[in-house]
Amino acid sequence: MKALFSRLVAAGLVTSMFCVLTPARAALLSVTGTSDVNTLMAALFSGSSDFLISGAALIGVDDQLGTQQGTFSGGNGIGSGGLGVDSGIIMTSGFAESAAVVNNSGSTTAELGTVGDTNLDALVGGLTVDANVLTFQFKPTKSGVLRFRFVFASEEYNEVGDPGDPTEFDDVFGLFVDGVNKATAGAGPVSINNINCGYGSRDDLTLPNTGPNCNLFRNNNFSAGNTPPDPLPPYDLQYDGLTTVLSVTLDLNEGQTYAVKLAIADRQDRATDSAVFIEGAFRADGNGTVPEPASTSLAAIALLSLAAALNRGRLRAARQRQSARTSFSHPRS
C-alpha cells in the first residue's frame, strides 16, 4: 500500500490532498513517456547514417501510473540558461513524466518495486533498486568521434549528500562501453556522493558551498523558493539539484562493434527519484568533432529563455499573493 500510494503521488493523482497547487504556466520542458525501444533509439541517433544499430533492449516500468523512461524536448528553455541539453531521452528511477513541472516537492517519489543493476552496485559499493537500463550495440560506418552529453538530476539533493556526511542513498548513473563505465566525475562515478556542494545552500541559493566536484553541481532546491519573497528555484524542473552538462567522448573505429549500456538507479531505498537527460542526434565526425544538433539555434535558445523569464515573473507575483502553502513530503521509513 505504501508503494502504491507513493506511485499515485508521483503520478499527480493525489497531489491536491497535500498542497496548494502553483499557478499554471507554460511547460517549456516536454516529456513523453515511452517503452518503445525504437522510439528511444531514434531520439538518440535521429536517423543518422553514421551508425548501424542492433540488439537494443530496455528494462523499465510502463503502467497506468507512469513510464520510467521517455523522450524530452525544450531543455534549453527551463530557466537560468537552460538544462544544457535540449532534446533526447530521459531515464529515471521513478517516472519520467514527473520531471516536466516547476519544482513543487522536495521528495518526488515513485516506489517501483523493481531490482537494481549489478554494474551500478559496483560503482557505489552497495545495493541499487528501481533500475532503468537501456542496452544496444552500434557499428560506426566511418571512423571519428562520438560524444555523449548528459545531465544527472535528483530529488536526493540537498537533503543528503555532503562531504562530511556521505549518504547511503547514493543514486547513480552509469554509461558503460564494452563493460567499462565512462561516466565519471574526477575519479568517481556520477552519483550523489561524488557530485554535490554539501548542505550549505540548501535553503539559501547565495551561500558559498564546498563539496566533491561542486563546480559540476547546480542547486534547484525546493525550499529555497518555496516561501515568498524568496527566489523561485532557478530551473523549471522537479528535481532539487542537477549537474552541469557532462560528457563522454569515444574514439571510433570504422566497422568495430561497440556495446553500450545506459543505467540509472536508486541506492539503498526507493524513496526520492533521480533522472538523467541524454542528448540525442548522435553523429560521428571524421575531423574529431561532433556538431551540435541543428535544431538548437542560438536564436531559439534566446526566445525560450525570454519566455521562461516572463513566466517566472508571473509565477513569482502569484506566489507572493499566497498566504500559505504546504506540500507532501515522502518520509523515509
Domain coordinates of the chain in residue numbers?
26-285+298-320
The residue that leads in pLDDT, 131 or 221, is 131
Range with the lowest mean pLDDT among 51-55, 131-135, 189-193, 290-294? 290-294
pLDDT at residue 220 in the model? 86
Identify which has the larger pLDDT, 165 or 142: 142
- Residue 6 pLDDT greater than 60, yes or no: no
CA 121-127-128 angle, to 5 degrees, is 75
Tens digit of each residue's pLDDT (9 = 90 or more) over 71-82:
999 999 888 779
Is the pLDDT assigned to residue 177 strictly greater than 90? yes
First to last CA, the chain: 14
Query: Which set of grid coordinates corresponds to residue 88?
Result: 533526447
Contacts of 277 (CB under 8 A, 6+ apart): 72, 75, 83, 85, 88, 89, 90, 150, 151, 153
In sequence order, which residues have a C-beta less than 8 Å from that of residue 122 and are 6 or more positions away? none
pLDDT at position 306 is 45
- pLDDT of residue 328 exceeding 80: no
147 has pLDDT over 70: yes
pLDDT for residue 200? 54
Are β-strands 51-59 and 128-140 bridged in parallel, bridged antiparallel, or unpaired? antiparallel
Q: What is the pTM of this model?
A: 0.78
- Amino acid 287: pLDDT: 33
| pLDDT at 304 exceeding the cut of 50 | no
**What proportion of the chain, given as a percentage, has pLDDT over 90?**
50
Rounded Cα distance between 277 and 150, Å, is: 5
Q: Quote the CA–CA distance of 12 and 86 in Å, as a whole number.
A: 25
> Over the Cα atoms of the chain, what is R_g?
19
pLDDT number for residue 167: 76
Average pLDDT for residues 100-111, to the nearest whole number?
81
pLDDT tier for residue 271 given thresholds of 50, 70 and 90: confident
- Whole-angstrom Cα distance, residue 171 to residue 32? 23
Q: Does residue 102 carry a pLDDT above 80?
A: yes
The average pLDDT across 28-55 equals 93
Count of alpha carbons within 13 Å of 108, Cβ hemisphere only? 32
pLDDT tens track for 181-240: 999 999 999 999 999 888 655 555 555 577 899 999 998 886 654 444 455 778 889 998
C-alpha cell at position 157: 539533493
Question: For position 47, what pLDDT does the model report?
Answer: 73
In this structure, what C-alpha cell is assigned to residue 243?
549537474
Q: From CA 272, how far away is CA 6, in angstroms rounded?
A: 10
pLDDT above 80 for 15: no
